[in-house]
């Protein structure tokens, strides 16, 4: 019967018990807590009914009250519970301010190499105790499915996901021609000039499909002599003379002296880099800050000078 009624126990009962035991009188306990003495008496009386026993011996007059043996046992448990409550409160405060928490983020190769380190570096500086987990995949469907199932809090994505997810667009990433230095004249290269050229490409993924659709829409049938989903290997094969490549600019190192980047004419549709989360889902403070930082660091890629403009200068 006692166990059942303890479900009606309230924290205020335990706070009143602790205050009376600490202060020695109901009056001083009331002053400490900002209650009336009658309110403290009512809370202690309610607690005694819940535990079906007497908590204090009341000698009367100015002498302090004394805990009964049952009161001493209840007080010990009460202080343990109050300590737990205080600990939970502190933990929630740290969670709300983003000091603690965990975030799981989906990403893909080019973002992992160029964008994600900037975000993680800022997150580590601001929230060193936050646990960051990352899932990388070149398969868009895998990331989309994991995000939809709630296995990821956030994911970097390509394109506009307004229908399926909520998202923040970060920047547009143009497709460029990757060739050996001097293979083409400085500046733009016409797509028609690539007709029949040996090309290095990737296996089917969203960016490669965008790439090939754009080339075919311009009347060019790509002549792929090698495919790999490793961005570094694509550049290495171009440097070795195996062929040229059409790649998103984020996927290549514009400072690599072994390659030269050219804009394409007509230009292929740019791929849009965004960060997405499940539609209608309330993000944790840590996730909200991750999205904010992703937007802030992405300004670097919005403002980046084009390598051919730098060369021309």
Residues 38-72: pLDDT tens digits?
999 999 999 999 888 999 998 877 789 999 999 99
Residues whose CB is less than 8 angstroms from the CB of residue 93 and which lie 6 or more positions away in sequence, other chains included? none
Percent of all residues in the chain with a pLDDT value above 70, rounded to a whole number: 92
The beta-carbon contacts of 4-8 under 8 Å, at least 24 apart in sequence, are 5/49, 5/50, 5/52, 6/50, 6/51, 8/50
What pLDDT is recorded for position 1?
A: 40
* HEC per residue, 220-264: CCCEEEEECCCHHHHHHHHHHCCCEEEEEHHHCCCCCCCCEEECE
pLDDT at 235 over 90: yes
| CATH, domain 2-96, list 1.10.10.10, 3.40.47.10, 3.40.50.2300, 3.30.450.20 | 1.10.10.10
Same fold, 2-96 and 175-269: no
Percent of all residues in the chain with a pLDDT value above 90, rounded to a whole number: 67
Q: Name the DSSP letter for residue 191.
A: G
- pLDDT band at residue 310 under the 50/70/90 scheme: very low
177 DSSP β-pair partners:
246, 262
Average pLDDT taken over every residue of the chain: 89
> Reduced to 3 states, what is the DSSP secondary structure of residue 131?
strand
What pLDDT is recorded for position 312?
A: 36
Give the predicted TM-score (pTM) of the model. 0.73
Residues 173-210: pLDDT tens digits?
999 999 999 999 989 999 999 999 999 999 888 888 88
Classify domain 175-269 at the CATH topology level: D-Maltodextrin-Binding Protein; domain 2 (3.40.190)
What pLDDT is recorded for position 209?
A: 86
In the CATH scheme, what architecture does the domain 102-171+272-312 have? 3-Layer(aba) Sandwich (3.40)
Instruction: Output the six-digit token pair for 75.
Output: 């007080």
Query: φ and ψ at 165, to 5 degrees?
Result: -125, 165
Residue whose structure tokens are 């929630």: 92
The mean-pLDDT minimum among 46-60, 81-95, 118-132 falls in 81-95
- List b or e across 158-185, with b for residues whose CB sees 16 or more CB atoms inside 10 angstroms: bbebeeebebebbbebbbbbbbeeebbe
- pLDDT band at residue 161 under the 50/70/90 scheme: low
**Domain ranges across the chain:** 2-96, 102-171+272-312, 175-269
The mean-pLDDT minimum among 112-116, 144-148, 262-266 falls in 144-148
What pLDDT is recorded for position 153?
A: 94
Helix ranges, the chain (H): 2-5, 11-23, 26-33, 37-51, 69-96, 109-114, 116-126, 140-148, 206-217, 231-240, 285-297, 299-302, 307-312
pLDDT at 144 over 80: yes
């Amino acid at each position: 019967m006692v166990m059942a009624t303890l479900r009606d126990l309230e924290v205020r009962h335990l706070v009143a018990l602790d205050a009376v035991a600490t202060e020695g009188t109901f009056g001083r306990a009331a002053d400490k807590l900002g209650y009336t003495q009658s309110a403290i008496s009512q809370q202690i009386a309610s607690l005694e009914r819940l535990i079906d026993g007497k908590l204090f011996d009341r000698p009367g007059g100015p002498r302090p009250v004394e805990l009964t043996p049952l009161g001493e046992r209840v007080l010990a448990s009460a202080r343990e519970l109050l300590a737990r409550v205080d600990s939970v409160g502190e933990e929630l405060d740290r969670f709300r301010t983003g000091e603690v928490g965990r975030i799981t983020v989906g990403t893909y190769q080019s973002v992992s190499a160029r964008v994600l380190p900037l975000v993680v570096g800022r997150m580590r500086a601001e929230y060193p105790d936050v646990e960051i987990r990352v899932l990388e995949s070149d398969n868009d469907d895998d990331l989309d499915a994991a995000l939809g199932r709630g296995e990821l809090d956030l994911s970097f994505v390509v394109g506009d996901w307004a229908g399926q997810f909520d998202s923040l667009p970060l920047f547009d990433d143009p497709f460029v021609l990757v060739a050996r230095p001097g293979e083409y004249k400085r500046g733009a290269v016409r797509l028609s000039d690539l007709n029949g050229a040996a090309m290095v490409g990737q296996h089917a993924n969203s960016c490669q499909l965008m790439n090939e659709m754009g080339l075919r829409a311009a009347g060019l049938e790509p002549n792929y002599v090698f495919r790999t989903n490793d961005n570094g290997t694509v550049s290495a094969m171009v440097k070795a003379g195996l062929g040229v490549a059409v790649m998103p600019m984020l996927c290549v190192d514009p400072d690599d002296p072994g390659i030269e980047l050219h804009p394409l004419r007509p230009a292929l549709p740019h791929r849009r880099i965004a960060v997405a989360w499940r539609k209608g889902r309330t993000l944790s403070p840590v996730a909200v800050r991750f999205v904010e930082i992703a937007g802030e660091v992405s300004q670097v890629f919005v403002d980046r000078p084009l390598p051919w403009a730098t060369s021309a200068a």
